Amino acid sequence: MPDSTLQPKDKLVADLKVVVADAEELLAATAHQTGEKVAALRERMQDNLRSARHKLADAEDALKAKTREVAKATDHYVHEHPWKSIGIAAGAGLIIGLLISRR
C-alpha cells in the first residue's frame, strides 16, 4: 500500500517499525566494537528496542481493535438505515466522480 493512502496511525506504526529495524541493524553492525561505553550503550539500546517493540505491538493491537469497532458500527448503521446509506454512497460517488473528471 502506498504511503499516501496510509492513515496517520498506520503510518506511525510503519515508521516505528522502520526505526526499530534500523536500530537493530546498527546494533548488529557494531557487535564487533569493544569497550565499556560501547557495551553500556548497546545494552541500553537493546532495552529501549525491546520496550519499543512491545509498545509498538500494543499500539498495533489497539489500532486493530478500534478499526474493528468502527467497522461493526458502520455495519450496524447500514443495516439499520439501508436507503440513507445508499443515498450517501451515491452522493459521495457523484462528488468523487466530478472531482476526478475535473483533472
User: Residue 12 — very low, low, confident or very high, per pLDDT cuts 50/70/90?
Assistant: confident
User: How many separate domains does the chain show?
Assistant: 1
The CA distance from 96 to 102, in Å, is: 10
The CA distance from 9 to 15, in Å, is: 10
Look up residue 65 and give its three cell numbers: 481493535
User: Per residue in 24-73, pLDDT tens?
Assistant: 777 777 777 777 777 777 777 778 778 878 888 888 888 899 999 999 99
Q: Is the pLDDT of residue 1 over 60?
A: no
Domain that holds residue 92: 3-102
pTM over 0.75: no
